[in-house]
Amino acid sequence: GATDDAIQATKKGVFPADDQKLKCYLKCIYSNMGAISDDGELDAEAFSSVMPEDLGAVLNPMIEKCKGVTGPDSCELAFNFNICLYNADNKNYLVI
């Protein structure tokens, strides 16, 4: 799996393009939340619906900005979605 250092580095905006384990770790999180389907589609509404209300108020505008993100596979999609979320609001970005 992804290293803890790689996961923590995303909080500082470090997203190494060659870290396949990190990409698939992120996909696994979103798949478990129902936010990325088995066929690699992002479901931003599902992602929003599992957020606690206090987090939703902060994260929903970020999710709204990023809901059109794509990728050639589900791991890349999750990775690109995280980069978008970070760029949308790096002060409130978090990895669950």
Domains detected in the chain: 4-88 (1.10.238.20)
The predicted-structure confidence for 14-70, as pLDDT tens digits, reads as follows 999 999 999 999 999 999 988 998 788 999 888 888 888 888 888 899 999 999 999
Q: Taking Cα atoms as reference points, which of 71, 63, 68 lies closest to residue 15? A: 71
Which residue, chain included where needed, has tokens 């978090």? 94
Give the confidence band of 96 by pLDDT, cuts at 50, 70, 90: low
The predicted-structure confidence for 76-86, as pLDDT tens digits, reads as follows 999 999 999 99
What count of residues does the chain have?
A: 96
DSSP structural state of residue 35:
S
